[in-house]
Amino acid sequence: MSEPEGTNPVADEDGSDCERNQPEDVWFLAGTFGTRAERTCSIPGGVPVAFPLVNLLGDPAVCTSFMSTAKGSAALDGEKVEAQSSRGESISVQGVAFNPVTGTDERYTTTGCGLWVQLPPLKPGKHTLTIRGQAQDFSVGVDYSLTVDAVDAVDAV
């Protein structure tokens, strides 16, 4: 909700918007709005990585139903990584105009749920990441080609 649809990383087809609105302490990789995508993305070194296999914003009952069928997998460089289940947490987000979720620049409070992966900082170099997720009739598939930058000696201090 912090990016309009035209530059939203979730709607991004090739990874050109993966750096949009990234915080300093974690790098978020986006899923999709129910489609498949192949993305190329550069990530700064020394920063943990987080991404959903499948996720949803809705009221608690909708999240309960969604999570009852949620499943997914992720593989980093061909090795399976474990996901954590978030069954419903209250979240508040400040939207921007024309965002693909609410379309408005108002604050939005809802329940968030999904299957999420949190990884420690990746080693510098090239990596592949495959994300697959499904719940009810919604499915996500993203293939990432990642390049992780080396950590500068100044940044490592």
| Residue range 7-22, pLDDT digits in tens | 888 888 999 999 988 9
Whether 156 has a pLDDT exceeding 70, the answer reads no
CA nearest to 70, candidates 110, 102, 113: 113
Which pLDDT tens digit goes with each residue over 114-144? 999 999 999 999 999 999 999 999 999 999 9
Domains held by the chain: number: 1
> Cα-flanking dihedrals φ and ψ of residue 65, to 5°?
-65, -45
- Is the pTM of the predicted complex or chain greater than 0.85? yes
How much of the chain exceeds pLDDT 70, in percent?
Answer: 96
Which pLDDT tens digit goes with each residue over 20-47? 889 889 999 999 999 999 999 999 999 9
Q: 105: domain range?
A: 5-156
> Cα-flanking dihedrals φ and ψ of residue 125, to 5°?
125, -165
Cα–chain center distance at 106? 22
